[in-house]
Chain A
Amino acid sequence: MSALLDVLRRHFPEFLSGFFVTFRVVAISLAIAISVGTLVGALRVAPLRALRWIGTTYVEAFRNVPLLVLIFISFLGLRRAGVGIGPWVAGTASLGLYTAAYVAEAIRSGVFAVGKGQIDASLSLGLTYRRTMTKIILPQAARTVIPPLGNLLIAMIKNSAIIGASILALPDLLKQARILQARTFQTNETFFWAAAGYLVLTLSATFVVRRLERRLAIRR
């Protein structure tokens, strides 16, 4: 027990810096995932077939390729093709665009979950199709989608460890733990604290999502 606390006390700055790197990776990737995912989700329910096709292609491409392969393509592949992007861009873009495919699917299902009667009622008042979307359908869809988005956020926090373990070698929480483990050979202790760090992030995410859900919930 004292060994465990001792590792944390001695290497707290390293753990903390790893924790914040992971936090930044997650925050940037989340912004990408939500914005791209919303756009792609909107394409998936667009009235034009060509737009739906673009959305579907995106989802199938990014959902069906392993995240690690995306990282290799974006970091090594693009570099070989003459587009040199750094590990931060490659990592956050890969994780963000990968998660965006799932976000798009969640948003699509949220739009479909809003009853057709809502569209009828809105149109019958004289609202245009566009206003019906922005005033009636999307606000309800966004609320339905909060719990599945929470799940995606948690998955994304955990997936972010792949970035630290990959060739990108960003000094995130897992990477810092591996460096410490190699230096100190206190394997169980260092990885215990890494796990605890991830737990702090995922549990906070759960807490925030629950509050959001309660505040915005629609009682039916």
Chain B
Amino acid sequence: MAIAPQDGRLVELEGVRKSFGPHVVLDSIDLSIRRGEAVVVAGPSGSGKSTLLRCINGLEAIDAGDIRFEGQSIPKAGKGIYRLRAEMGMVFQSFNLFPHKTVLDNVTLGPIEVKGLSRLDARARARALLERVGIPEKADAVPADLSGGQQQRVAIARALAMEPKLMLFDEPTSALDPEMIREVLDVMRDLARDGMTMIVVTHEMGFAREVCDRLLFIDSGAIVEDAPPEEFFRGAKSERAREFVDKIIHH
């Protein structure tokens, strides 16, 4: 059992580098995130935001540096990586629900297969979570029967069913119609208020302003801003971030 650092840091990145071929996606990233923090990651597309999340839960292996979760380095492969992933939830832009399973089976799969929960317990937990994300009546539907917003809320419930210590959101509302964005953001805001540690890659600056503790701005694989949202919007230090704020506010 790893001992959690006393200062409450849940995730730490140190000199993390990642490239795809000649293209450097993350360039010596240093970052630490405390328990209970809600962090929004913003930046132009292709700046490495998604890759950052994928490296944290080991879907991509890093080239150099270290990523620690509760003080424990993320292993490159083997059993350790599976165990760590089970402690982090991830929500994807394209939902990625399992189309051949019902909503309830999507949500119970992880707890049954990974945590060894009994079917009965897993179902009870899944129903409670579907209640929490506001769609208890869709338990027996298949993903194809749901709207995008409903699918994403199921995806959130699926991740929460593993009782994660950290939630990673990779542009969770980018594939949604405007009227469905709200319902997903509401669920996420409630989560943050309940104290869930989360890292959210998003372009929803309203959400960032209202919900997050810190806003990271990434450009060309480097963190160029790391500030509370009010400070970021009032006056970002870097030219690139000011341009970004400008564009978002005037559109």
Chain A residues within 8 Å of B, Cβ to Cβ: 115, 117-118, 120-128, 131, 135-136, 139-140, 143, 218-220
Contact = CB atoms under 8 A, between A and B. Distances in A.
Contacts of A126: 82-83, 85-87, 110, 114, 162
10 contacts: A117-B96, A120-B59, A121-B97, A123-B85, A125-B85, A125-B113, A126-B83, A128-B82, A140-B98, A140-B99
A136 to B, nearest CB: 6
A127 B100 contact: no
CB-CB nearest 10 A-B residue pairs: A126-B86, A121-B96, A219-B144, A125-B110, A124-B90, A117-B96, A126-B114, A126-B85, A218-B99, A218-B100
Interface of B: 54, 57, 59, 82-83, 85-90, 92, 94, 96-100, 109-110, 113-114, 142, 144-145, 155, 158-159, 162
Contacts of B54: 120
B85 A124 contact: yes
A124 B159 CA distance: 8
Contacts of B89: 124
A127 B98 contact: no
Contacts of A118: 96, 98
Given A131-B113, A220-B144, A124 B100 contact: no
Given A123-B59, A124-B59, 13 more contacts: A117-B94, A120-B54, A120-B59, A121-B97, A123-B82, A124-B57, A125-B86, A125-B109, A125-B158, A127-B114, A131-B113, A135-B109, A218-B99
A99 B113 CA distance: 36
A118 B98 CA distance: 7
Nearest to B97: A121
Contacts of A117: 92, 94, 96
